[in-house]
Amino acid sequence: METHTKKFKVRLGLFVAGGLALFVITIFIIGKQKNLFNPVFKLTSTFYNVSGLQVGNNIRFSGITVGTVDNITIINDSTVKVKLLVRKEIQKFIKSDCTVAIGSEGIIGDRLIVISQGSNDASLARDGDELASVEPVETDAIMKSLAVTSGNVEIISKQLAEIMIKVNGGQGTLGKLIQDTTIAENIDKTILNLRKSSKGLNENMEAAKDNILLKGFFNKKARAAEKAKKDSLNKNEIK
């Protein structure tokens, strides 16, 4: 009987000790996440819509988690005030012209606060300062914009399909050019005639050079070209 009682007490003691240890570890982890054991300074910002932001959500600066959302209060029908707790060691990087925006952990993750970097000339933010905010873009607005874009793409695709059908059917100028063999043959003949005309013109020019009346003109032109060539060579040698 006594042995059984001792075993029960030992088990009870181990259970209580394990529970206390688990409780302490939980408090430590939560306190570390909520900055309960770290010195912090407070900042505020106002939004028209916090878009699902909750107390306890993380605050990030330069991609690093630096604090948590402390409180969210509705001031009026168009203003929501958000209080931020930021680690004291980060205060030297937060400028008075930094802006606050609401982002998310991935595409469908929890909401978080993102503090942008300020300018080098701005003063440091002090405890209790209010930073300017950037209103978040709602998912519904993004989906609506995508729906409009998708509709426009569908209309353009349908119009292109109709144009290609007409072209393949030989309709319109482009369709006739592609489908009508007579037009293609006429174009080939025109090109051939242009080549013959060019060849004939070259032959006429050669014949004109031998003409007594025009021979002086062509000789004068050749001498001028030769002189220009010599002048160019002389200039290059001088340089």
Tens digit of pLDDT for each residue in 198-222? 665 665 566 555 555 555 555 666 6
Kindly report the pTM of this predicted structure: 0.48
What lies within 8 Å, CB to CB, of 176 at 6+ separation is 170, 183
DSSP-derived 3-state class of residue 76: strand
Reduced to 3 states (helix: H, G, I; strand: E, B; else coil), residue 56 is coil
Please report, for the chain, how many H helices and E strands are present, in that order.
5, 7
Tokens 């242009």 locate to 194
Q: How many CB atoms lie within 10 A of CB 101?
A: 17
Whether residue 92 has pLDDT greater than 60: yes
Q: What is the pLDDT of residues 55-73, one digit of tens each?
A: 989 999 988 989 999 999 9
- pLDDT value, residue 174: 62
Q: Crossing angle for the helix pair 139-168 and 172-179, nearest 10 degrees?
A: 50
- Reported as type and span, the H/E element at residue 156 is helix 139-168
